[in-house]
Structure 1
């Protein structure tokens, strides 16, 4: 008589056949909690300088109003540029040496650089240090690589949506903190507070985050993946996802350079422009916070491609009426709705990127995804500013809306043309 084999008597699965996600299945939820906290903390620290950045530029010796605006823009954009350049490198190193070391590296590096900004002696120092923060930082990017590769396939969209909420909350709260903190500790002291906040995130990452990384096992998996036939399929799918991610950030950021001017044309008094512009800018992030986890979970149920195409079309439809508003609160309401539709895009794209490649290459590919997103944050304000200056403010909304529709059509075409792209989403 054949007796059933108990679990205790069952042969152990050789470690070389256990995937990275399976080895870390017991850690991903605690790691998610730390990554949400760390993403929130680092982005608060990076964005809280927005309200007083021109004032700090003046303190560093720049007197001309035009030069203050120019240097403030360069200093702010330098961090995005640095992250766009190095994100693929850090993703590749995450595949080779583990995800946790990349998180620790980002947090420690950003804590040091943020503190050094507080002792800058010239505007050149400020720009260089902001660039360094992007080159060696990127905690939120490293978090996406870790959670995207550790979360179970059926919950990856939800997990990435929750992680996105932490980053959005940091971008929302940061300028609010930067509005009152300099009055307590001074502008330079604010950077030391920011560095201390990131140091707390670094300590939490070092002490709480867990990772089971086996370089030998994952190296074998990486060599096998390079010979896999699915690589040729994804050569068409992955670029479309990267372009779509860039378009999302481009559309969201294209209005930033002209939003204060646009609100001024709506009849808002000059003395209230800064406050109203801040509310309108925050509306998009607030809307995204409300729906990011829900749309991420929806992507787990109905598929990432469906959410991507639907959200792109919905965002384009919400973009157009913004050109015809007559009151600032109408613009704020539409930006909030746009934030709600945009929120489903990045978690769904990251989920599909993760599922379209072997896990041994996921860090590298997700690094390219982060690079595409930050490229959109750099290019979006440039395009919006140029169109607003030479054509008009309303056309900015039409152009970005059209780009979103083109991205939706491209995503639908790729999904229809490559059945494999739909299968990895099931």
Structure 2
């Protein structure tokens, strides 16, 4: 088995578990905070929001820092640091005796993250050009699937094994990721003689500045779209099912349907990106995802919503691989980790921004409008990608073919 393929398998497992670890606390958090002694419902909601959001905000800040460390010291050391650190911190959450201890540990979790950045950089720099789309497409399914399945996994473990065991089981899985990384990941890292220092120097080395910014914004919009429905999905399902029961279970399955579709479609769309161009797949996926979002506002049953969420996953699966492929192509090797670190920051901010957007739109206009607003946001991003990315790269391909 080629080294890149073996590394891909190990990194996929690690990123999947990391995605679960970052998101599994969502359904458990209010219950655990109440278990820690907070009884007022308003305080529980406020502290739950702080504890959930602080991890993603801090992760957005530290992701480029760990990306820089990956460029300087190698990607495998960053994988080992992040997986072992998260195993310890998440396991310790199960022993938290006060809500502020829990929030503090969630903050530390955000600081020590960086597994996804190191994995993406490792696979992008190791994989040959012919297999880059497939490898990055497959890798992208790990974090998205883990993040989308995490709330359902957390709810299942809490219901069957208890709240504390959510943290212990996730910590144990991260420890397994650490051991498999230590034993099976191989990296021939050649440290650059001249290290790039400072944001200005990094920015000067980026040859395609406008294109790079467009990729950051596109990744941010994608994660906003995926998570905008998280705050309202349970309420929306309850409205559609007329409170007939099993609302939480149906909501979890509906939310996770796009994650399942993503697992199925992303490697195939990654291969398609290798064959016809990542910019073409990106434009189609953005437009299709935007169109599929809008009918979700007009469904009359949970099963219709579930089907549309599955279709959404099939289309959005082409976006993350396309973003990573284009970034790999236009970014110098010396700063690959840092640029992917900024991409991950955009994703973490998108998770937080999506939750805020969904909650605010639902509060002001109603749950159905969350789907309409999100769909319009994706279509607007598609128009921007057409003007800033598709037309530019298509004209280059035409000029190259004419020579």
One fold, TM greater than 0.5?
yes
**Structure having the higher Rg:** 1
Alignment of 1:7-406 (within 5 A): 27-182=3-158, 185-215=161-191, 218-220=192-194, 231=205, 233-269=207-243, 271-406=245-380
Counterpart Cα distance in 2 of 1:209 and 1:127: 33
Counterpart Cα distance in 2 of 1:272 and 1:303: 44
Q: Deviations over 1:371-402 (max 9, x none)?
A: 01111111111112111111222222222112
Counterpart Cα distance in 2 of 1:420 and 1:366: 24
**In structure 2, do the counterparts of structure 1 residues 66 and 421 end up closer, same or farther at CA, with 3 Å as the change threshold?**
farther
**So what's the TM-score if we normalise by structure 1?**
0.87
Contact 2:94 2:168 (8 Å CA) reproduced: yes
1:127 to partner: Cα distance: 1.6
1:328 to partner: Cα distance: 1.0
User: What is the SS of the residue equivalent to 2:27?
Assistant: helix
Counterpart Cα distance in 1 of 2:329 and 2:31: 46
Q: Deviations over 1:306-357 (max 9, x none)?
A: 0110000000110110111111111111111101111110111011011111
Counterpart Cα distance in 2 of 1:288 and 1:422: 30
- Matched residue pairs, number? 397
Deviates more, 1:229-238 or 1:401-410: 229-238
1:112 to partner: Cα distance: 1.0
Q: Which runs of 5+ in 2 are unaligned?
A: none
**So what's the TM-score if we normalise by structure 2?**
0.91
Counterpart Cα distance in 2 of 1:331 and 1:182: 26
Deviates more, 1:156-165 or 1:297-306: 156-165
Counterpart Cα distance in 2 of 1:232 and 1:40: 30
Contact 1:39 1:139 (8 Å CA) reproduced: yes
**In structure 2, do the counterparts of structure 1 residues 311 and 411 end up closer, same or farther at CA, with 3 Å as the change threshold?**
same
1:422 to partner: Cα distance: 5.1
Deviates more, 1:308-317 or 1:399-408: 399-408
1:59 to partner: Cα distance: 0.8
Contact 2:59 2:113 (8 Å CA) reproduced: yes
Q: Deviations over 1:234-267 (max 9, x none)?
A: 1111001100110011111111111122222223
Counterpart Cα distance in 2 of 1:29 and 1:45: 24
